[in-house]
């Protein structure tokens, strides 16, 4: 039951951000620190320009649940 709760928390986040985080963790765990940090920065750069990131910031400021659309 706890695993499903954790999975739901992850699934409630923006799909682009989740995908990039999974990629950074997966690939980063198999490399040295410098390469891992480069992968994390690359993942951040992909997500920072998305509509979902803006929606997340807006939702936080408006104290509401975000409505991510994968864009």
Predicted TM-score (pTM) of the model is: 0.73
Instruction: Choose which CATH entry (2.40.30.30, 3.40.50.10490, 3.40.30.10, 1.10.12.10) describes domain 2-61.
Output: 1.10.12.10
pLDDT by residue (tens digit) across 14-65?
999 999 988 888 887 788 999 988 988 999 999 999 999 999 999 999 999 9
**For the chain, which residues make up each domain, given as ranges?**
2-61
**What is the band of 71 on the pLDDT scale with cuts at 50, 70, 90?**
very high
Closest-CA residue to 53 (of 16, 12, 25)? 16
Which of these, 45, 38, 50, lies nearest to 13 by C-alpha position?
Answer: 50
The whole-number pLDDT of residue 36 equals 87
Q: What is the pLDDT of residues 7-16, one digit of tens each?
A: 999 989 999 9
């Amino acid at each position: 039951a706890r695993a499903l709760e954790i999975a739901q928390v992850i699934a409630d986040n923006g799909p682009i951000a989740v995908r990039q985080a999974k990629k950074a963790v997966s690939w980063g765990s198999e490399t040295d620190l410098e390469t891992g940090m480069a992968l994390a920065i690359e993942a951040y750069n992909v997500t920072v320009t998305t509509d979902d990131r803006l929606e997340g910031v807006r939702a936080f400021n408006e104290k509401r649940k975000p409505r991510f659309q994968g864009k």
